[in-house]
């Protein structure tokens, strides 16, 4: 790969990162706007926006050199730490534990396929 090709590849990667960041910011802004609404249609829109934000996070991590597995492990480790740190706060403890179990079940079901 020549210098010009590498420069083009770096420029292309930077543009993709900027596009991912912009889309994430737009989706977060839209999510905040939708949170003001309290109707069933907004519920569906919020779910779509949250899914987009999660997908964009994974894509951005990959572009920044962080593998999907590394990101998954970071999430899992942060959940474990959060559970340990919030044992006295029942609501947080329950939410974090439920999320960790969900991720474990999802991971186990993928492994058995």
Among 51, 66, 81, the domain boundary falls at: 66
Q: Say how far apart CA 59 and CA 24 lie, in whole Å.
A: 11
Mean pLDDT of 96-104: 93
DSSP class of 87: T
On average, the pLDDT of the chain sits at: 88
Q: Give the list of residues 6+ apart from residue 60 with CB closer than 8 angstroms, or none.
A: 17, 20, 21, 24
Length of the chain: 113
Cα 111-104-86 angle, rounded to 5 deg: 165
For residues 40 and 93, state if they share a domain.
no
Mean pLDDT of 68-83: 94
Mean pLDDT of 70-99: 92
Q: Say how far apart CA 95 and CA 99 lie, in whole Å.
A: 6
3-class secondary structure, 103: helix
Bigger pLDDT: 10 or 100?
100
For residues 60 and 72, state if they share a domain.
no
Q: What is the per-residue pLDDT across 18-67, written as a single tens digit (0 to 9) for each?
A: 999 999 999 999 999 988 877 777 788 999 999 999 999 999 999 999 99
- How many CB atoms within 10 Å of residue 34? 20
- Residue 109 — pLDDT band, cuts 50, 70, 90? confident
Instruction: Read off the pTM.
Output: 0.82
pLDDT at 9 over 80: no
Its domain, for residue 110, covers 67-113
- How many CB atoms within 10 Å of residue 23? 16
For residues 10 and 62, state if they share a domain.
yes
């Amino acid at each position: 790969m020549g210098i010009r090709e590498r420069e083009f590849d770096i420029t292309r990667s930077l543009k993709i990162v900027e596009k991912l960041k912009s889309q994430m910011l737009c989706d977060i802004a839209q999510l905040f706007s939708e949170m003001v609404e309290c109707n069933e249609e907004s519920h569906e829109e919020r779910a779509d926006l949250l899914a987009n934000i999660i997908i964009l996070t994974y894509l951005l991590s990959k572009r920044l050199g962080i593998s999907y597995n590394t990101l998954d492990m970071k999430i899992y480790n942060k959940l474990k730490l959060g559970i340990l740190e919030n044992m006295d706060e029942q609501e947080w403890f329950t939410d974090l534990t439920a999320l960790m179990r969900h991720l474990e079940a999802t991971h186990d079901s993928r492994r058995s396929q």
